[in-house]
Amino acid sequence: MNYYSLNKQASDSSFRNAVIKGLAPDKGLYFPESITPLPKSFFENIDNLSYSEIAFEAIKQFVSPEIPENILKIIVEETLSFDFPIVKLNDNISTLELFHGPTMAFKDVGARFMARCLGYFNQDNDKEVTVLVATSGDTGGAVANGFLGVKGVNVVILYPSGKVSDIQEKQLTTLGQNIRALEINGTFDDCQAMVKTAFLDEALTSQMQLTSANSINVARWLPQLFYFMFAYKQLHKTYKDIVFTVPSGNFGNICAGMMAQQLGLPIRHFVASNNLNNVVTRYLISQLYEPKPSIQTISNAMDVGAPSNFIRIQEIYKNEFETLKENLSSYSFTDEETKEAMLEMYDDYNYVADPHGAVGYLGCKAYLKENPNAHCVFLETAHPTKFLDVVEEVIKEEQPLPEQIQAVMGKEKESTLISTYEDLKGFLLS
């Protein structure tokens, strides 16, 4: 499979090169040159397939022939070493829990898959690769855990100071080994801008090999399509009109769901649930795409003012606005509405949700007002104890810490505070 830049000013790339480089030379995101739908029989027989078998069949066209099938099967098995359960709240709403991995966030799958791909590509290479990643919360911890100890790979994580939860910060600042954390005096958008600038700085890239583990990287982004197939397997016998509501920040997760749709997954519609960072919600009303500085909210992983992956969504639907609207709705919610939704789920269904899942739940309710016959599945993207202060304040009940969280709580934070791109460049070159 080859990949092309969405800026259309760079040569096509192999999967290997797209993973290692992260971003195309013309600053564009890579996109697969073709998407071949899976045979109808695949979805008719999905009940007879394991999660690993589903994932292997879904992803192999995007990585072949550079990763042999026997190696890919091992990568998939190692990536999917935990469960993805559906929890039904009522006849119209279920949640897909994506927090049962090592860092208790949905990004574990993409980070683990990418780390193993990069490890395979780098196994006979003496030159080290530096993974440079910006995080608004969960990406950093997932990447740190996924790449911990991978031969020939150094990881540098940029995160906005004071704008991630305490547990999220612990997960990305306490591992040591080949993981380094940079605490940025600014917002996630500032972190992301520094990362993109570094990729295009020839004085830097001539001296070191940089790649990204954000969802701009095809190996981090594409495996997220597995979730939607796993949910379909669990629900399709009971519900015929399944709609996915995705708490959306950088829009990689929902974009991956749309890739699953392109592969033939019989899903009619998607809902992007935004917090106050609602550039896409506003675009679907006005057709004006106007990125703005991010606003800090209690659903911090979605505090993205310029979502990178939305251009991929536009490409999937051939940049046709009406086709996009047929497949995507979007709603925006305040912190107060988010807290009310958390309390409602706890009181009505005895379900403890994190703030991001609560935004997804609100998206379900908004969509169902006009589409009452649908079954809406919201993605619960992180374990509620990762946002302990907010969750316990809302539901007024102390929450036990899972062992994955307990493992980092007593560790000491190690980070370097920086403010400018020149600070980052100096850190990397040193």
Residues noted as catalytic: 107
Residue with tokens 């539901």: 395
8 A C-beta contact, residue 299 and residue 105? no
What residues does 246 pair with on adjacent strands?
272
Give the span between the Cα atoms of 388 and 405, in whole angstroms: 11
- Report the chain's terminal Cα–Cα distance, integer Å: 36
* Closest-CA residue to 250 (of 204, 318, 189): 189
Encoded tokens for 128 = 């080290």
Residue 57 DSSP class? H
DSSP 137-195: SHHHHHHHHHHTT-TTEEEEEEEETT-S-HHHHHHHHS--TTEEEEEESS-HHHHHHHH
Task: Please state at what angle helix 51-63 crosses helix 69-79, rounded to 10 degrees.
Answer: 130
Q: What pairs with residue 329 in β-bridges?
A: 271
Distances (CA, A) of 214 to 37, 115, 381: 26, 12, 16
Q: How many residues does the chain have?
A: 430
Residue 50 burial (10 A CB sphere; 0-12, 13-18, 19+): exposed
